[in-house]
Every structure is written in C-alpha cells, then in structure tokens.
C-alpha cells in the first residue's frame, strides 16, 4: 500500500524526532492523536498508535510527554460530520457503521482547551 511509508514517516518518525527535540530543549510535548488509535484498523490508526507509543517511550523522570486523542471535531476537514453532510447534499445514503454506536463531538475550542490542559 502506497500510504504506509508516508504515514509511518510523518506519524511515527516525525513524532519521534519532535519528542526528542522537545526533550532535549526541556519543552513540554503534547501529541495530538486520533480515536482511530484505540483499536487500529487502518494505516492511519496503526501509525497514530505507534506514534503514541514512540512519544511516551522518549519520556523519563524529567520529561513527561502526553498524548491526547480526538474523535470528531466539528468543522474540521475529514470529520464524520463533513462526510455525512456531503452525502446529504448529493442525496446519497449516509453511512452508519453501527446503528448502536454513540458518536462524540467537540468544538475546535474544546479541542484547543484539552491540549492546553494536557500541557500543564
């Protein structure tokens, strides 16, 4: 799959380099991950999960990296809301993976607030 190498470079190796740089500079590090990392079923989910593990592995007594997982952020590109709206506009069926699933949404402000709280 063509997507595997670029995703691994960005999500895994990029996270490793950024976390190491933050550690070396004495900075805080907050990794913004994805709810897809919880039970990875895609390249994106698997590489995000590996990124979390890599970021946390760089930590120690003096450097404590943090990872936050976001699901559906209202107004963000690629969110389930955007996909559903596009289906409605095109008069196509709205995909529902599991009728019993509960979806959670947050605003951009809530997401930013979560990152700031995690960085404390």
Q: Taking the CB of residue 52, how many other CB atoms lie within 10 A of it?
A: 21
Q: Taking the CB of residue 2, how many other CB atoms lie within 10 A of it?
A: 7
Say whether 48 is catalytic. no
**pLDDT value, residue 73:** 83
**pLDDT value, residue 1:** 67
Can you give the pTM of this predicted structure?
0.78
**pLDDT value, residue 8:** 92
* Residue tagged active-site, from 36, 52, 55, 67: 36
Share of the chain above pLDDT 90, in %: 50
Q: What is the pLDDT of residues 21-72, one digit of tens each?
A: 999 999 999 999 988 778 888 898 899 999 999 999 999 999 999 999 887 7
**Cβ–Cβ < 8 Å for 67, 30:** yes
**pLDDT value, residue 75:** 77
* Secondary structure letter of residue 38 according to DSSP: S
**pLDDT value, residue 16:** 97
């Amino acid at each position: 799959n063509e997507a595997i190498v670029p995703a691994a470079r960005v999500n895994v190796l990029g996270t490793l380099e950024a976390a190491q740089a933050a550690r070396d500079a004495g900075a805080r590090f907050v990794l913004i991950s994805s709810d897809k990392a919880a039970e990875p079923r895609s390249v994106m989910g698997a590489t995000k999960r590996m990124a979390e593990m890599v970021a946390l592995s760089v930590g120690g007594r003096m450097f404590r990296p943090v990872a936050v997982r976001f699901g559906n952020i209202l107004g963000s590109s690629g969110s389930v809301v955007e996909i559903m709206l596009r289906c409605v506009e095109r008069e196509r069926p709205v995909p529902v993976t599991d009728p019993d699933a509960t979806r959670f949404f947050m605003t951009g402000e809530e997401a930013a607030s979560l990152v700031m709280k995690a960085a404390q």
